[in-house]
Amino acid sequence: MKIALAQINYHIGNFASNKHKIIDHIKRSEQAGADLVVFSELAISGYPPRDFLEFEDFVNKCNAAIREIATYCTKTAAIIGTPVFNSNDKGKPLYNAAAFLSDGKIQQFVNKTLLPNYDIFDEYRYFEPNNVFDVIQYKGKRIALTICEDLWNIQDNPLYTINPMDKLMGQHPDFIINIAASPFNYHQINIRTEVLKRNAIRYKLPLFYVNHVGAQTELLFDGGSLVMDRQGIILDELKYFEEDFRIYELESVSAGEKLHGKTNTRQEIAMIHDALVMGIKNYFQKLGFQKAILGLSGGIDSAVTAVLAAYALGNENVYNVLMPSRFSSDHSVNDAIQLAENLKMPFDKISIENSFGAFEETLKPYFADKSFGITEENLQARTRGVILMALSNKFGYILLNTSNKSEAAVGYSTLYGDMNGGLSVLGDVYKTQVFELARHINRDKEIIPENIITKPPSAELRHDQKDTDSLPDYESLDEILYQYIELRKGPNEIIKSGFNEGLVKRILKLVNTSEYKRYQTPPILRISSKAFGMGRRMPIVAKYLS
């Protein structure tokens, strides 16, 4: 039996596009002599469709698309993820299902059993869990078809009381197919591979895995679909962050034959880089925009953001605005200009001095002779925000937010100023990782001027300002933040790992009291296991650690 894996970039709710891509790959599979082509979880709707699933019209369109696609499956069968209605009197209205199509019609639905309801997942909000277990019989083979999480209850700390593969093994399947929507984070690839390996070894079956690829707002899907033999050895792996398509002989996979040479290399910072570039590119494409605007300050965050945007959209489509004030250093302005010229990106220099001065003069009678402070610093950031949003409105650009995760965590940013934007590129990237990204970008030649990377970080909102005036060094800060945010450790655990008690309590208080700011941020491209946004739901009015 020949099995094709189709790793496709879908668009949520774009039924015409999704259907067209699926039909094209069915035809391609048929021409190549494949018996079966496999698509990913909820391929018809795109993942995650979220509350679109509450609209009957939306699900009806999914079902209509599946029926139409089935008419193309006369020679090559297909497995496609789709939501379907639950016809039972009780339970949630929908199933997260996989449709098996052959001989021109829908032959069978397999429903997802284990519905993740943690971090960015909330499938139990919409779907009823499966309780019927049947293999798919096709061309003399018995297929154990599973959907994403259905294979994940095999780890050391099981989340569920049932394991779908245990149920299916009584029907003696010949191999496993898993269709998935597994989002990227820089630890996920190794975790995912280990989960799939455990399944192949435990059940002594070859395994075919198909994942989504592409960005859906903040969620980034890395692809990396793969084929394993019954010993859990990866025989082949599809591309990361790109669409891909390959066909395999089941007999070769069962025999453990290496298929396409080496698997992909996985340098962490390179994966983060590629994920962010894909995230920017897909966000603009799927919204129908072409051009970005950002404030280029001469600092490392805006520099890295500008480069990533240029790679994603094309240099000519990234408009950089330099907005110096009385506190801006000449080297910052010159560094920003040099970066723009290195990549031939358009740029303009607009001084904020007149605008900022006008605000100062207007507010002076009402500031009661209070001395220059954080209010005036924020006023500069907000002045810049007004300029950027005006240009964005006038020319139809999307403003890219350049704040990093370290700043967002402790509130080292200004609402309606540098927190403006339609998309946050680095909001899930710690400052220390931003430096790594800069070095990765410069790995072959100097694109980001060296001075941007080596100079002490500064917001330049007052004379001789440095980030370390308000924050600890980023190495310490980022480690404390990582232990609290990603690892969910409490203050006592973090202090026991060697950090000063006063520093830990101060940092954690800053994180929790800054929640109201993060609630108003643009979507943040997710590259970690715990990003700010939909996967981290914290109350604003709370006392814990604040």
Contacts for 468 with CB less than 8 Å, ≥ 6 apart = 456
330 pLDDT higher than 90: no
- Match domain 271-467 to its CATH number in 3.40.190.10, 3.40.50.10800, 3.20.20.140, 3.40.50.620: 3.40.50.620
| Number of residues that make up the chain | 546
**Separation of alpha carbons 53 and 127, rounded Å:** 9
pLDDT for the residue numbered 259: 67
- The SS3 call for residue 533 is strand
Q: What CATH class does 2-260 carry?
A: alpha beta
Domain boundaries, the chain: 2-260, 271-467
- The SS3 call for residue 26 is helix
Q: What is the mean pLDDT of residues 536-546?
A: 93
pLDDT for the residue numbered 313: 98
**Separation of alpha carbons 261 and 53, rounded Å:** 41
pLDDT in tens, 173-215: 999 999 999 999 999 999 999 999 999 999 999 999 999 999 9
Q: What is the mean pLDDT of residues 121-128?
A: 97
Instruction: Name the packing angle between helices 300-313 and 330-342 (round to 10°).
Output: 20
Measured CA angle at 333 (ends 330, 339), to 5 deg: 135
b/e for 7-26, b at 16 or more Cβ within 10 A? bbbbbbeebeebbebbbebb
Structure tokens at 481: 């933040």
pLDDT for the residue numbered 386: 97
Closest CA to 423 of 159, 267, 216, 256: 216
* Res. 332 pLDDT band, cuts 50 70 90: confident
- The SS3 call for residue 489 is coil
- The SS3 call for residue 6 is strand
Other C-beta atoms within 10 Å of 303: how many?
28
Q: What is the DSSP string of 56-90?
A: HHHHHHHHHHHHHHHTT-SSSEEEEEEEEE--SSS
| 2-260 against 271-467: fold identical | no
* Res. 459 pLDDT band, cuts 50 70 90: low
375 pLDDT higher than 70: yes
Q: What is the mean pLDDT of residues 393-413?
A: 97
Contact 352, 377 (CB under 8 A): no
Q: Which residues are catalytic?
A: 41, 112, 148
Closest CA to 83 of 71, 69, 66: 66
Q: What is the DSSP string of 433-451?
A: HHHHHHHHHTSSS-SS-HH
466 pLDDT higher than 80: no
* Res. 157 pLDDT band, cuts 50 70 90: confident
156 pLDDT higher than 90: no
Contacts for 84 with CB less than 8 Å, ≥ 6 apart = 59, 62, 63, 94, 95, 97, 99, 109, 111
Structure tokens at 24: 């094209």
pLDDT for the residue numbered 488: 97
pLDDT for the residue numbered 327: 83
Which has the minimum average pLDDT: 381-385, 459-463, 492-496, 513-517?
459-463
pLDDT in tens, 57-98: 999 999 999 999 999 999 999 999 999 999 998 999 999 999
Q: Using a pLDDT cut of 90, give the percent of the chain over it.
A: 91
Q: What is the pTM of this model?
A: 0.95
pLDDT in tens, 231-281: 999 999 999 999 999 999 999 999 887 766 556 667 999 999 999 999 999
Contact 176, 205 (CB under 8 A): yes
Q: What is the DSSP string of 132-191?
A: ---PEEETTEEEEEEEGGGG-TTSSS--SS--HHHHHGGG--SEEEEE---B--TTHHHH
* Res. 155 pLDDT band, cuts 50 70 90: confident
pLDDT for the residue numbered 258: 72
307 pLDDT higher than 60: yes
